[in-house]
Amino acid sequence: MIGGSGFLSGTLARLAIERNHKVWAVTRGQRPLPQGVIGVAADRRDPAGLEKAISEAGGEWDLVVDCIAYEPAEARQDIALFGSRARQFVFISTDFVFDPLRRKFPQPEESEHYAQVDGYGKRKRLCELEFIQAVTDGMAWTIFRPCHIYGAGSQLGCLPLHARDPQLIETLRAGRPLQLVGGGHFLQQPILARDLAEMILSVLDNPRAQREIFQAAGPEIIESREYYRIIAEMLGVELRVEEYPVKRFLAEKPEMAPFACHRIYDLCKSRACDLATPATPMREGLRLHLQSLL
């Protein structure tokens, strides 16, 4: 794994170890790795140092997952480093690759309208194109586009101004209102981190997943305010919401437009290709996430 001490990467590492895989993680060493993970000390911003560390780690890998790349140069680096070292490569993209004003409901993998404004979504799309257009005969690749990822190892919250908000529990318990864009009525399809990790591991020895892009979203479509209401109910308090008007939000924070739209997805392709289907109910996933923070 490129990045092994973060939220998704840590969840993936622990699940892989549970499944008796041997796991390596490229890391700068700033945070501890999950127990059992073999650390490969390197900084991807030092290409020569990264190549040396990968070479010294030895051999080939059945699966390599890049959880953190977001610049096209980093995608090219992945292809150069692992083209002959990875039997299967997974690149973690984002659902923000789509133009927020031209989405379909539900949104399939293919679109004529991708993000145009420079930022996280557009750069992830440029990374995707590096894989799509590269000659990678020796390395099968798969791209996942997660919706909002939640679960242990992260903070709660799916909408500005309360996205991954470390004060969310305190705010709810104090009876203070949450300021939600559009009153929290945007539809979302959050995916539990462990369910996403299951999807990633299910590409192993799966020829139907090779050179394919998949939406990665949970089994339920809910309003964003319902996400917060479930958390409040579990805390035994009432949810109070103050609407942050969409027009004002977009005028003040135009770069945040990908949050101000419905984010719901067609998952038929991942099912047809025999990937592990996310199945954790929203309420159960939020219970586990809240429990981890409490």
161-170 contact pairs (CB < 8 A, 24+): 161/244, 162/228, 163/259, 168/231, 169/231, 169/235, 169/290, 169/293, 169/294
How confident is the model over 74-100, as a mean pLDDT? 95
Check residue 278 and give its pLDDT: 97
Give the chain's domains with CATH numbers: 60-293 (3.40.50.720)
- Which two three-digit tokens encode residue 91? 């690149």
> pLDDT tens digits, residue range 160-179?
999 999 999 999 999 999 99
Contact status, residue 99 vs residue 122, Cβ threshold 8 Å: no
Q: How confident is the model at residue 93 (pLDDT cuts 50, 70, 90)?
A: very high
Q: Which residue blocks in the chain are alpha helix, DSSP H? A: 7-18, 47-57, 72-82, 120-133, 168-173, 193-201, 224-235, 246-252, 268-272, 282-293
Peptide bond just before 106 cis, omega within 30 deg: yes
Place of tokens 């939600």: 180
55 contacts: CB under 8 Å, gap ≥ 6: none
Percent of the chain with pLDDT over 70: 100
